[in-house]
Structure 1
Amino acid sequence: MEFFFRVKTVAEVLDIISSFPPLPEEEVDLSEALGRFAAGNILSPEDLPPFSRSTMDGYAVRAEETFGAREGEPTVLKVVGEIPMGQAPDFSLGPGEAARIATGGMLPQGANAVVMVEHTETIGDLVEILRPVAPGENVLRKGEDISQEDIIIKGGTRFTPALLGLLAGVGIGRVQVRQRPRVAIISTGDELVPSQERPAPGQIRDINTISLSAAIMEAGGLALPMGIVPDDEEALFKAVSLALEEAEVVLISGGSSVGTRDYTLKVIERLPGSELLCHGLAVRPGKPTILARVGHKAVFGLPGQVTSALLVFYILVRPLVCHLQGAQGKELFLPRTWARVSRNLASAMGREDYIRAHLSFNEDGLWAEPIFGRSGLLSPLARAQGLIRIPQNSEGVYQGEMVEIFLLP
Structure 2
Amino acid sequence: MDAILSSLPTLDTIELAVLDAQGLLCGEEVISETELPAFDHSAVDGYAVRTADVQMARPDDAVQLAVVGEAEPGSHETRGLSAGTAIRIYPGAMLPHGADAIVPMAWTDRGVARVDIRKAPTEGSYIRRAGEDVQPGDTAVTVGTPIGPAQVGLLAAVGRTRVLARPRPRVTVLSIGSELVDVGTKPAPGELVDVNSFALSAAARDAGAAVYRAGAVGADKDRLMSSLESQLLRTDLLVLSGGFASSSFDVVSECLSELGRVDYSRVAMQPGMPQGFGVIGEREVPVLCFPNDPVSALVSFEVFARPAIRYLLGKKRLFRPMTRARATERMDSPAGRKQFRRGLLMRHPDGGYVVSPVGGAGAHLLFSMAQSNCLIVIDEDLTEVTEGADVQVIPLVLGA
Bin the TM-score by the shorter chain: 0.7 to 0.9
Aligned residue identity for 2:243? G
Distance 1:107 1:379, change over 3 A: farther
Q: 1:160 is matched by which residue type in structure 2?
A: G
After superposing the two structures, state which structure 1 stretch, 191-200 or 69-78, moved more: 69-78
Any idea what SS the aligned residue of 1:121 has? coil
Q: What is the 5 A alignment of 1:290-309?
A: 290-294=276-280, 295-309=283-297
* 1:266 alignment partner AA: S
Asked if the contact 1:387–1:408 (Cα under 8 Å) also holds between the matched residues in 2, the reply is no
Asked if 1:42 corresponds to 2:30, the answer is yes
1:384 to 366, 369, 372: 372
Tell whether the 8 Å contact from 1:256 to 1:264 is kept in structure 2 after alignment. Answer: no
Q: 1:289 aligns with which of 270, 275, 285?
A: 275
Letter of the 1:408 counterpart = L
The residue matched to 2:298 in structure 1 has which SS? helix
Task: Indicate if the aligned counterparts of 2:194 and 2:215 stay in contact, CA closer than 8 A.
Answer: no
Could you say if the C-alpha distance between residues 273 and 253 of structure 1 is closer, same or farther in structure 2, counting changes exceeding 3 Å? closer
Give the aligned residue type for 2:328.
R
Give matches, 1:65-144, under 5 Å: 69-87=57-75, 90-93=78-81, 97-122=85-110, 125-133=113-121, 137-144=125-132
How much has 1:27 moved relative to structure 2? 1.6
Equivalent position of 1:189 in the other structure: 177
Task: Name the structure 2 match of 1:5.
Answer: none
**CA contact 2:260–2:278 (8 Å) conserved in 1:** no
Residue of structure 2 equivalent to 1:225: 213
- Whichever residue aligns with residue 56 of structure 1, its letter is V
Going from structure 1 to structure 2, the CA distance change for 1:128 and 1:350 (only over 3 Å counts) comes to farther
Question: Structure 1 residues 402, 208: CA separation in 2 closer, same or farther (over 3 Å shift)?
Answer: closer
Task: Report the secondary structure of 1:33's partner residue.
Answer: coil
Q: Which amino acid aligns with 1:318?
A: R
The TM-score normalised by the length of structure 2 is 0.80
- Residue equivalent to 1:313: 301
Determine whether 1:408 maps to 2:398: yes
1:343 matches 2:328: yes
Following superposition, the deviation at residue 123 of structure 1 comes to: 5.2
What residue ranges of structure 1 are gaps of 5+ in the alignment?
A: 1-9
- How far the C-alpha of 1:151 sits from its partner, in A, is 3.6
Give the one of 205, 214, 228 matched to 2:202.
Answer: 214
Match of 2:249 in 1: 262
Instruction: Find out whether 1:153 has 2:141 as its counterpart.
Output: yes
The 3 A distance-change label for structure 1 pair 275 and 83 is same
Distance 2:379 2:37 in 1: 47
Q: How does 1:59-70 map to 2 (within 5 A)?
A: 59-61=47-49, 69-70=57-58
**Kept after mapping to 2: 8 A contact 1:20/1:296:** no
Q: Is the 8 A contact 2:173 2:197 kept in 1?
A: yes
Pair 1:384–1:112, CA change in 2 (3 A): farther
Measured after TM superposition, the shift of residue 79 of structure 1 is 3.8
Find 1:26's aligned residue among 2, 11, 14: 14
Matched, 1:173 2:161: yes
Would the alpha carbon gap of residues 67 and 365 (structure 1) be closer, same or farther in structure 2, given more than 3 Å must change? farther
Identity of aligned residues (%): 31
Instruction: Give the Cα separation in 2 of the matches to 1:388 and 1:311.
Output: 11
Structure 1 counterpart of 2:258: 271
How far apart are 1:60 and its partner, in Å?
2.7
Aligned to 2:235: 247
Matched residue, 1:58: 46
What CA distance in whole angstroms lies between the structure 1 residues aligned with 2:22 and 2:53?
Answer: 47
Distance 2:93 2:327 in 1: 54
Give CA deviations for 1:141-186 in whole Å, capped at 9, x if unaligned: 4344444444433334443333222211221001112444332222
Cα distance, 1:240 vs structure 2: 2.8
Q: Select between 95-104 and 188-197 the one with higher mean Cα deviation.
A: 95-104
Match of 2:186 in 1: 198
Quote the offset at 1:340 in angstroms: 4.1
TM-superposed CA distance for 1:46, in Å, is 2.3
Q: Which amino acid is 1:288 matched to?
A: P
1:270 match: secondary structure: helix
Larger Rg computed on CA atoms: 2
8 Å CA contact 1:387–1:407 kept in 2: the answer is: no
Distance 1:58 1:300, change over 3 A: same
Q: Secondary structure at the match of 1:86?
A: coil
Once the two structures are superposed, what CA deviation does each residue of 1:43-78 show, in whole Å capped at 9, x if it has no partner?
333233222332321123456876675421334445
Deviations 1:348-389 (A, max 9, x none): 797655444445456555635334233312222223334455
User: Retained in 1: the 8 A contact 2:376–2:391?
Assistant: no
1:328 to 297, 315, 326: 315
Contact 1:28–1:175 (Cα < 8 Å) also in 2: yes
Work out whether residues 182 and 216 of structure 2, in 8 Å CA contact, stay in contact via their aligned partners in 1: yes
Q: Secondary structure at the match of 1:47?
A: coil
Q: Using CA pairs under 8 Å that are at least 6 residues apart, name the structure with larger relative contact order, 1 or 2.
A: 1
Question: CA separation in 1, counterparts of 2:5 and 2:375?
Answer: 22
Letter matched to residue 118 of structure 1: A
Q: Distance in 2 between matches of 1:136 and 1:358?
A: 54
Distance 1:146 1:223 in 2: 38
* Superposed displacement of residue 199, structure 1: 0.6
Q: Compared with structure 1, are the counterparts of its residues 19 and 84 closer, same or farther at alpha carbon in structure 2 (3 Å cutoff)?
A: same
